Structure 1
Amino acid sequence: MESKRQRQVAKQIQKDLGEIFQREMKQAFDKAFVTITDVKTTPDLAIARVYLSFLLTKDKEGLLETIREHSKTIRNHLASRVRHQLRIVPELQFYIDDTAEYAQKIENLFANIVIPPVSDEENEE
C-alpha cells in the first residue's frame, strides 16, 4: 500500500512530466502525443515507474525506446522543477500503459458474445 507521501510525489511527478513531454521534449518524439497515465514510486522515492500512453504514432515500442534513450535529459528537466520539493530526484523507468487497449479488447469480446434466449421449457422447471 502506498503512503500519502508516495501518492503526493507520484502525482507531482506525473504533472511535471506531462508538461515536460508536451512542451520541452515534443520535438524529440516526432510530434507524437505522449500522455503520462500513471506514476508509481518506491517507498524510498528513489525510483518512479512511469506509465505512458501514445497517440499519433505507429511504432509504440520504438517511441518508448527513444524516450528511454532521453531519460537523462527528461530527469534533468524534472530535477529543475522539483528541486525544492524533493531531496532525491527519482530514477525514471518508462513502461507502455496498455490498459486502454486491454479494455477495448474485453469490450469487443463482450460485444461479440451471443447469449441464446431461454426456452419456455426451461422456464417451467
Structure 2
Amino acid sequence: MSQRTDRLDSQIRQELMDLLQREMKDPRLGFATITRVETAPDLGHARVWVSVLGTDRERERTMGALRVATPWLRRKLGERLSLRHVPELTVREDDSTASGDRVLRILQELDGGPTNPVPDEAGEP
C-alpha cells in the first residue's frame, strides 16, 4: 500500500466512525465499530470492515442497516473529503474478534482448561 491510500483509508475510517456515531439515525444500527478500511490502488473501491457486538440477529440487523445506508455514507464522505471521486463502499463484517475467541478456546481445551481457572467455593481452582 502506498502512503496515499494509507492516509485515505485512515480518513475514511475516521469520517465513517463520526457519521455512525453522530449522524446515522437508523434504529436497526447496533454497536458497530469501523475496524479498518482498504482502498483499492485506483481509489475506485473501498472495503469497510465493521465489527458488530450483539446477538446474531442484532449483528444481521446492523449489517443490513449499514448496507442500505452505503449510498448515503458515500455521499456524506464526498461532502467531508476533498476527493475528485469518492470510492464505492463495500461493507463487510469483521469477525476477527470472534475468530480470535474461538482460537483461544481451542488452545485452552488443548492445554487442559482455562489459563485462569475460577476458584470454587472452597477457594480451589
Query: Where does the alignment leave 5 or more consecutive residues of structure 2 unmatched?
Result: 113-125
Alpha-carbon offset, residue 63 of structure 1: 2.1
- The size of the alignment, in residue pairs, is 111
Contact 1:22 1:34 in 2 (8 A): no
Query: Where does the alignment leave 5 or more consecutive residues of structure 1 unmatched?
Result: 116-125
Which secondary structure state, in structure 1, belongs to the residue aligned with residue 26 of structure 2? helix
Distance in 1 separating the partners of 2:60 and 2:27: 12
Between the two proteins, what is the percent identity of the paired residues?
A: 33
Which secondary structure state, in structure 1, belongs to the residue aligned with residue 42 of structure 2? coil
Alpha-carbon offset, residue 56 of structure 1: 4.3
Distance in 2 separating the partners of 1:105 and 1:57: 16
Which of 41, 47, 52 is the aligned partner of 1:54? 52
Residue 99 of structure 1 corresponds to: 96
Which secondary structure state, in structure 2, belongs to the residue aligned with residue 70 of structure 1? helix
Residue 122 of structure 1 corresponds to: none
Alpha-carbon offset, residue 15 of structure 1: 0.5
Runs in 1 of length 4+ with deviation above 3 angstroms?
none
Contact 1:29 1:63 in 2 (8 A): no
Which secondary structure state, in structure 1, belongs to the residue aligned with residue 110 of structure 2? coil
Distance in 2 separating the partners of 1:104 and 1:21: 26
Max Rg structure: 1
Which secondary structure state, in structure 2, belongs to the residue aligned with residue 5 of structure 1? helix
1:17 aligns with 2:13: no
Distance in 2 separating the partners of 1:53 and 1:74: 17
Which of 24, 34, 37 is the aligned partner of 2:35? 37
TM normalised by structure 1 equals: 0.81
The residue type paired with residue 94 of structure 2 is: D
Alpha-carbon offset, residue 57 of structure 1: 5.3
